[in-house]
Amino acid sequence: MKAEEAKKRIADLSRQIHRHNHNYYILSSPEISDYEFDMLLEELIKLENEFPQFADPNSPSKRVGGDITKDFPTVEHRIPMLSLSNTYSEEEIQAFDQRVFKELEMHPEYVCELKYDGVAISISYEGGQLARAVTRGDGTKGDDVTANIKTIRSIPLQLQGHFPADLEVRGEIFLPHEGFARINAEREEIGEAPFANPRNATSGSIKLQDSSIVARRPLECIIYSIHGANLPNTSHYENLVEARKWGFRTSDFVIKSDKLDEVFAFIHDMAESRPALPFDIDGVVIKVNDYPQQDILGSTAKSPRWAIAYKFSAEQAVSKLLSVSYQVGRTGTVTPVANLEPVSLAGTTVKRASLHNADIIEKLGLHEHDYVVVEKGGDIIPKISAVKVEARTAGADPIGFISKCPECGTPLKRDEDKAANYCPNARGCPPQIKGRIEHFISRRAMDIDSLGEGKIDILFENGKIRDPADLYILEMSDIQGLSKVYPGEGEKKERTVSFKEKTSRNIIEGIRESLEVPFERVLFALGIRYVGETVAKTLAEHFGSIDHIISADHDSLVEIHEIGERIADSVVSFFKDPENLSLVDRLRSAGVKMETDTGDTQQKTTLASRSFVVSGTFSGYSRDEIKNLIKSNGGKSISALSGKTDYLIAGENAGPSKLAKAVDLGIPVLSLQDFLDMIS
Ligand code: IVH
């Protein structure tokens, strides 16, 4: 394509994509399918790479991120970002209204909005182009997080319609519950502590150095104030209506009224709707609508005198501590959990509350059988916010953190950085072993969906698996008939689960199919701390094979974009451990991919992904050597014969049942020489 033509096409695509974004994220009425949208974006990114001279800083391709910010520059706010004065009582709202009435000598019009529980942002536009986005900081100066903010789809990069040339909008960035749950699930998979609540996840996200990671976090932004010369109206509500036309998202939950009754009705409605909203709010904001009236009322150093926030109090209940139990996670972290007398709170029955770690137990001063205040605030899991010391039984002992692992008895160690206690017996502690295997088979890792937590438990309890590589040597005879008795609890009766033939066959088949899983997911499946899906992909693409990663040192790892010190340390120490190296070798021998498909293996495609089962003994070659030959020639070595197997290589004493099955399924049986001829 010629440069002139490319310039026109880039401009045209940008215009289309901006419009479709607006239709989708602001108007909720897309005109094209996600696929068609992706195709337009892909074409734009390709053209911008080819003709970088035409790439615009506000191109819709900025939505996918890619810019890296090492240190966020500090920027002074043109207008300070104040906070709101808070109240928890309706009387104080009445007092606020009386003061306003007295000073204005009339009843003003109020705008009532939700108080979003996220992170405040100020975004400036010059000539309709997003120029800069700055966090609140200390109210006077904040951090320039522009590159990260540009990835948020509900923030327009270019304004539409009749917008003021010079504009600053302020609003709240937040993570809806669904996105929050997804991010935490991903963090747990890589051994990272989950975020306690969506607000923490949001502030963590907008300060990430790599904007392409921010782009994958489903952040949203609602605009709640508008500043600038030449605004179309002299009142807040009316300007919000205009802002929607320029491309901003404003809240769907807003009312304008000059009646205090209606203000209270809004507060009550929202308090009632709060549990069902898909995002967190912590109250309602009441603002005087008219700007000249706002000016008359003025501001204190901290907050405007024309607005007040009515905060919902966290829902609380009192319950009795029955016991504290301790859970051991995949990475060995021991988390204390309070078992409580069931109590109803915010529409659910609470029986347990997280105690997070030893420091929290100490800070609360928790004693046995204490009466505690349970709270459901922004955090997903209810927490204990206070102890009723006055109700404590005389002589009750303080709760001390356990010193030995509740699962394997190993003395616990403490990770000062994370204020966490952990069991160092990674190889021998059952929940850690099972947790690693569960991670290995999980959907985004090896995706062996014929296995699951319960089945892993049965295989483990019956001594069949100790690590992921053991899965690949399982045969039907190892699995069929295995069982476990689950004791009854409360209303649940005792039950025995055992593997029938079909289940067993599915398990073997699922494990075999996982040999097709690409290397980047195998790398993620290994469960190296801090190596999530994205990092695994980066490492796989950069190094091409596990051997290159094993021999990489700390310095060559941190040189890679996206890989920091912490990840590099973790990768190096993982592959220093002989047990992990042996795990890799055993997985490799089983046929699990240890190289990217486009890497070194590309030249060796003699066997073109054909699958082989090796059975019996061979003179001059060990079975592992033959399996390595299969792999190094682009084939796959698998353990069980099925209709999908291409060849059986049979040596002396090859299993008679395997031979018979091969004949049955019409699978060619090769001698060692046949095989060597094939690859020569
Ligand atoms: S107005 C001068 N409106 O609450 C006051 N703030 O304590 C400007 N917030 O930092 C703020 N929802 O992050 C306003 N509808 C809303 C809000 C809101 C949430 C946050 C904002 C601010 C804090 C004020």
Residue that is written with structure tokens 């401009």 in the block: 11
For residue 334, give every residue at least 6 positions away whose Cβ sits within 8 Å of its Cβ, in sequence order, or none.
326, 327, 328, 402, 405, 406, 412, 420, 421, 422, 423
Among 235-249, 462-476, 653-667, where is mean pLDDT lowest?
653-667
Any bridge partners for residue 166, and if so which? 126
Q: What is the pLDDT of residue 235?
A: 98
Q: What is the pLDDT of residues 112-166, one digit of tens each?
A: 999 999 999 999 999 999 999 999 999 999 999 999 999 999 999 999 999 999 9
Q: What is the pLDDT of residues 552-588, one digit of tens each?
A: 999 999 988 778 899 999 999 999 999 999 999 999 9
Given a cut of 60, whether residue 601 has pLDDT beyond it is no
Whole-number percent of the chain with pLDDT over 90? 68
Q: Where are the beta strands (DSSP E) in 34-109?
A: 74-76, 86-87
Average of per-residue pLDDT across 429-457: 94
Average of per-residue pLDDT across 455-462: 95
Average of per-residue pLDDT across 310-339: 91
**Is residue 283 in contact with ligand 1, taking CB distance under 6 Å?**
no
Q: What is the pTM of this model?
A: 0.68
**Is residue 173 in contact with ligand 1, taking CB distance under 6 Å?**
no
CA distance 353 to 542: 43
Given a cut of 80, whether residue 538 has pLDDT beyond it is yes
Residue of 82, 111, 224 best suited for mutating to test ligand 1, as the one with most atoms within 8 Å of CB: 224
Given a cut of 50, whether residue 602 has pLDDT beyond it is no
Q: What is the pLDDT of residue 219?
A: 97
**Is residue 225 in contact with ligand 1, taking CB distance under 6 Å?**
yes
Ligand 1 atom index nearest CA of 120: 13
Q: What is the pLDDT of residues 615-629, one digit of tens each?
A: 998 888 888 888 888
Helix (H, G, I), strand (E, B) or coil at 22: helix
Cβ of 578: how many Cβ atoms within 10 Å? 8
**Is residue 286 in contact with ligand 1, taking CB distance under 6 Å?**
no
Ligand 1 atom index nearest CA of 303: 2
Q: Which positions are catalytic?
A: 115
Helix (H, G, I), strand (E, B) or coil at 361: helix
Query: How many Å separate Cα 211 from the centre of its chain?
Result: 15
For atom 15 of ligand 1, which residue has the closest CA? Answer: 115
Helix (H, G, I), strand (E, B) or coil at 321: strand
For residue 425, give every residue at least 6 positions away whose Cβ sits within 8 Å of its Cβ, in sequence order, or none.
332, 405, 408, 410, 432
Q: What is the pLDDT of residue 161?
A: 93
Question: Which of the four pLDDT bands, split at 50, 70 and 90, describes residue 604?
Answer: low
Work out the mean pLDDT of the chain and round it to a whole number: 91
**Is residue 142 in contact with ligand 1, taking CB distance under 6 Å?**
no
Among 80-89, 116-125, 229-238, 555-564, where is mean pLDDT lowest?
555-564
Q: Is 425 exposed, middle or buried (0-12, 13-18, 19+ CB in 10 A)?
A: buried
Residue with more model confidence, 335 or 377? 335
**Is residue 117 in contact with ligand 1, taking CB distance under 6 Å?**
no
Distance 222 CA to ligand 1 centre (A): 11
Cβ of 401: how many Cβ atoms within 10 Å? 17
Find the Cα–Cα–Cα–Cα dihedral 461, 465, 468, 473, rounded to 10°.
Answer: -150
For residue 336, CA distances in Å to 91, 327, 425 come to: 41, 6, 18
DSSP 209: S
For residue 460, give every residue at least 6 positions away whose Cβ sits within 8 Å of its Cβ, in sequence order, or none.
430, 433, 434, 437, 466
Q: How many CA atoms lie within 13 A of 251 on its CB side?
A: 25
- Please state the three-class secondary structure of 555-593 as a single string: HHHHCCCCCCHHHHHHHHHHHHCHHHHHHHHHHHHHCCC
For atom 6 of ligand 1, which residue has the closest CA? Answer: 115
Residue of 110, 113, 115 best suited for mutating to test ligand 1, as the one with most atoms within 8 Å of CB: 115
Q: Are 307 and 84 in contact (CB under 8 A)?
A: yes
Q: What is the pLDDT of residue 598?
A: 64
Residue of 79, 83, 84 best suited for mutating to test ligand 1, as the one with most atoms within 8 Å of CB: 84
Given a cut of 80, whether residue 186 has pLDDT beyond it is yes
Given a cut of 50, whether residue 242 has pLDDT beyond it is yes
Distance 71 CA to ligand 1 centre (A): 26
